């Protein structure tokens, strides 16, 4: 048995909470840090269905990437999905922790795992920030494909490796793809960094209609989906725990939490 704080500490060892953005709400959000547990359930999002799964399978700790609580709550009543989820978790002694932008800003975090799944090498942080400990942190990653691909081959690779239903992208430029930047989740804000490093393509999520114009004939901008570019965070969190506590049971939730569906 381990304390909740010890298991959460496996992730904060590689992504301290001080690395989260000022607007974020990462860390232990529900429950007792000193509660003893023997297993943890990992998910990208905390939903009522995920808590139901935790209850059914006897998990007393759920760790997610996205915070269950973003905004201050004026009350906790069964009036919406967030409040119902909190009530259900508390009633069943389930602690809830999230590791969000602290993991986004870690070299070993979200974008690193995304880059690895795409097959990028020679990785560097796209927007480096020097931390107090002299460890380089920051958003996004940039690296190189092992082989040069044309645009269609590149998109086929991305779609397959991310198991994406569809990809949205800017105009083809007839250019070969070698240097690629990535950012899991909503990463359009890093586009100028992508241009500055002369990447041939940029993979992220949540790109708006007018944002695609900003590719401006300089690169292939690819929206692979928020969920699709962050899905490997579940493996990341599980891996961090298992490396430190090899006998601690970790399970990735079987609940589909992607809120977007495609009619093809």
Using one digit for the tens of pLDDT, what is the confidence trace for 139-156? 999 999 999 999 999 999
pLDDT at 129: 85
| Displacement of CA 18 from its chain's centroid (Å) | 17
Considering just the CA atoms, what is the radius of gyration of the chain in Å?
A: 19
Could you please state the CATH topology (level 3) that the domain comprising 2-100 is classified under: 3.40.1390
User: In this predicted structure, what is the pLDDT of residue 134?
Assistant: 65
Low-confidence ranges of the chain (pLDDT < 50): none
Task: Give the pLDDT confidence score for residue 62 in this predicted structure.
Answer: 98
* pLDDT score of 264: 81
Say what the pLDDT of residue 66 is.
Answer: 98
pLDDT for 132 equals 63
Q: What is the domain partition of the chain in residue ranges?
A: 2-100, 105-229
**The 3-state secondary structure of the chain, one letter per residue:** CEEHHHHHHHHHCCCCHHHCCCCCCCEEEECCCCCEECEEEEECCCCHHHHHHHHHHCCCEEEECCCCCCCCCCCCCCCCHHHHHHHHHHHCCCEEEECCHHHHCCCCCHHHHHHHHHCCEEEEEEEEEECCCCCEEEEEEEEEEEEEECHHHHHHHHHHHCCCCCCEECCCCCCCEEEEEEEEEECHHHHHHHHHCCCCEEEEECCCCHHHHHHCCCCEEEECCHHHHHCCHHHHHHHHHHHHCCCCEEEECCCCCCCCCCCC
The pLDDT of residue 133? 63
Task: Compute the distance between CA of residue 68 and CA of residue 96 in angstroms, rounded to an integer.
Answer: 8
Q: Quick check: pTM over 0.85?
A: yes
Instruction: Examine domains 2-100 and 105-229 and report if their fold is the same.
Output: yes
What fold does the segment set 105-229 form as a domain?
Answer: 3.40.1390
> What residues have CB less than 8 Å from 58, skipping those under 6 apart?
39
Nearest to 179 by CA among 225, 120, 125: 120
């Amino acid at each position: 048995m381990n304390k909740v704080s010890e298991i959460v500490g496996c992730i904060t060892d590689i992504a301290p909470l001080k690395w989260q953005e000022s607007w974020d709400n990462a860390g232990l959000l529900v429950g007792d840090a000193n509660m003893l547990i023997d297993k943890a359930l990992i998910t990208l999002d905390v939903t009522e269905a995920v808590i139901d799964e935790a209850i059914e399978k006897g998990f007393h700790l759920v760790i997610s990437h996205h915070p269950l609580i973003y905004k201050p709550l004026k009350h906790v009543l069964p009036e919406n999905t967030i409040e119902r989820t909190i009530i259900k978790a508390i009633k069943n002694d389930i602690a809830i922790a999230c590791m969000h932008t602290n993991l986004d800003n870690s070299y070993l975090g979200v974008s690193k795992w995304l880059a690895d799944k795409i097959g990028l090498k020679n990785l560097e942080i796209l927007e480096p920030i020097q931390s107090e400990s002299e460890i380089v942190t920051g958003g996004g990653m940039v690296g190189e494909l092992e082989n040069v691909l044309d645009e269609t081959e590149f998109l086929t690779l991305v779609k397959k490796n991310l198991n994406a239903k569809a990809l949205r992208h800017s105009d083809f430029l007839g250019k070969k793809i070698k240097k690629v930047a990535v950012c899991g989740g909503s990463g359009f804000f890093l586009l100028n960094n992508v241009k500055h490093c002369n990447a041939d393509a940029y993979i992220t999520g949540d790109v708006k209609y007018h944002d695609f114009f900003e590719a401006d004939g300089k690169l292939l901008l690819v929206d692979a989906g928020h969920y699709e570019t962050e899905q490997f965070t579940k493996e990341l969190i599980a891996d961090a725990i298992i490396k430190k506590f090899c006998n601690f049971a970790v399970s990735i939730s079987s609940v589909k939490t992607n809120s977007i569906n495609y009619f093809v």
